[in-house]
Each structure stands twice: as C-alpha cells, then as structure tokens.
Amino acid sequence: MLAAESDRCDSITVSAPDHHHIHMAVEAMRRGKHIYLQKPMAKTMQEAAYLRQVAREEGVVTQMGTQYAAHRSDRQVVEMIKDRTLGPVEKVYLYSTRKGVSRRRRFVPTPAPVPATLDWKLWLGSAADRPYAEKVYHPLIWRIWRDLGSGWIGDIGCHLISAAWMGMELGSNAPRDVKAKTITDAEDGVKDIVWPTAAHILWHFDGVSASGGMPFEFEWFDGCSEPDALAPAQFRPPAEVEELYAKSIFKKRPHEGKAIKCRDGWILQPHGVKNAYAVRNDSTEVKVPDLPEVATQYHQFVDCCLAGEPARSDFGWATYMREEVITGEIAERRVNTLLHWDAKARR
C-alpha cells in the first residue's frame, strides 16, 4: 500500500492485530508519515522503545489509540489529579470484569483449509508459524494468543490507565516492582502460549509529586463479575471499591473503570461515562470540573498533523505507559513472583 500510495497520503492509522503494529508503524514513520497507532501500540519493551526512537528521529506526529483520553470524564480525572482536588494520590484501582473473547476456554486448534480470501502466511507475519484453524484466531480471538495479541490487559489496560498516568504526570516513570496472580482456562496443549482468562496485578511505584512524594500503587483486576461466569474474589475489585460505587450516583460498580484513592477522598470513573464522580472521605460529594466537549482523539490527531504539534497521547510518553502495562504482562507469565524492574538498565 505504501509503495503504491505513499506520495498521496500524509498519515497512516494502524488498527491491525498487535503483532503487526511495529512493522507497519515504523515503515510509515520512516517514510515521513504521521502515525495513529491503536493500543496496545507495541508487544514488547524493545518495540515500545524503538517506536519512541523512530518517532523522535523522523519528527512525525504520533498518537496512541487511547481514544477515551479525549472524553470529558477522562479529562476531568486528569484535571482533578493535577489540581490535587482530593490531595495526593495513594492508590489507583483499575478493573475490567466484563465478558468478552478473552474469557473463553482455550482449545488446541484443529487445522483447517485456509479460506481463499485469506493470505495466511502474510497474516501471520512475525508470529510463529502454525496451521490455519476456524474460529480460533478470527474475529478478535487472536487477542488471547501470546505471540499475536496482548491479553485482556493489553486490550483495555492502556485505556483505563491513561487518565491516571496523565493526571499524575508520570511521563517516563516506571514501576519499582510488579506481581501477578492468574487463572487460565485452557487445554494442556496451549496453556503456555495463551494469555490468562483472569488476572490480578499489583505494581509499586516510588513517590512522585502527585503522590506527595510517597510511594503509591496501581492495582489491576480482570476476573469476570457476571454471575454465570463469576471469577474468584481475588480477581475482582475489593469490597471497598464495590461499596463506594454502591453509595455513588452510579449505584453499583460497572464492569469497567477505575477508582482512585487520594488522601482526602476518591475519584470514581466508569469507563466511557460522560462525567466522573468525586467524594470526600466524609461522604461529601465534590463538584467535578465543568469541562467543555472537545474534538475526538481522531480529529485532534488530524489537527496536530496540520499544526505540527504533539498529539495528546504522543509516543514520547505513551510508550512508557505501555511499558508499565507490559511489565504486568510479563508478570502474568511468571505468576506469584515479585519481579523487580530496573528501568535504567531495562532489565
């Protein structure tokens, strides 16, 4: 496509499966194209760092596809954290407990003829070679395979972490350590090459300005909370978060969102909701910022391309946020093990 159309386009958007992102994005940037790259952006630490490097070398406008970053509630969370509305941040709870393709049991694939409409070798790209199989990789089921997708946290984690990361102005900060517990509903023949069906991940960070200089935590839960597929309690948000949502205007915790614990109260934000919610420790509601609606992240990307300005989710910081999620994915492969991350040495 680039060979045929490169002189007729200024930017490229990449929404292919995760294992194709790095090749498509780098090829476009090396041709001087601005790049809108869907989450999770990169599959490995090396890929994230390389995207950051190439973007800097080529001087192009970049945007990670965390489109909810332009939504009012995400921006309200950013503003309240920056303004210290409820004091320093102590802990960020993140959760995605809905059903989806990543919840299904992982079976050993049964080889099948490749459809005439599919170039299977091309689609596999850099992934391990394997026979085609029906209803195993398409549609979207590629997300559950380690070399194709990035699991549940890679699918939705970047969306949920974005507002907290921006509000706390974490930039290139990195977690000190990470530990994960998982459940994987899979046949023996594939257990070691698929992502888990539920996970609980805890990161510890050293203090930053937004945390009052004190260490803080990010904690992730993705065990299904539907009654007919209920995950064990340790893979669902704690009772404290459930009770906060029950007493809020939302009445109950939605399947996806965040709860940010600050010194003086809490910020609650169901994923994609119009307005966030804030409450003090004495149960007094706090008025959230009355922010105007703005252009979607897609339109903002185009505006930044025209103006030559950095986009909201520019690779210069978003790649570091992605690396934090990747440390969680690494922990999912080394369960019940405390992993210490040396960001300077990158090991």
Q: Which segments in the chain show pLDDT lower than 50?
A: none
DSSP assignment string, 76-141? HHHHHHHTTTTSSEEEEEEEE-S--GGGSPB----B-PPPTT--HHHHHTTSPP---BTTTSTTTG
- Give Cα separations from 291 to 24, 74, 107, 275 (angstroms): 36, 11, 47, 9
Q: Where are the domains of the chain?
A: 2-66+297-314, 70-103+141-295+322-340
**pLDDT reported for residue 39:** 95
Q: Which CATH number fits domain 2-66+297-314: 1.25.40.10, 1.10.230.10, 3.40.50.720, 3.90.1150.10?
A: 3.40.50.720
pTM (2 decimals)?
A: 0.96
What would the 3-class secondary structure string for 148-179 be? CCCHHHHHHHHHHHHHHHHHCCCCCCCCCEEE
CB 49 within 8 A of CB 74: no
Q: How many CA atoms lie within 13 A of 159 on its CB side?
A: 22
343: which DSSP letter? T
Q: At residue 71, what are phi and psi to the nearest 5 degrees?
A: -70, 150
CB 254 within 8 A of CB 274: no
The answer to whether 2-66+297-314 and 70-103+141-295+322-340 have equal CATH topology is no
**pLDDT reported for residue 37:** 98
**pLDDT reported for residue 11:** 96
Secondary-structure class of domain 70-103+141-295+322-340 per CATH: alpha beta
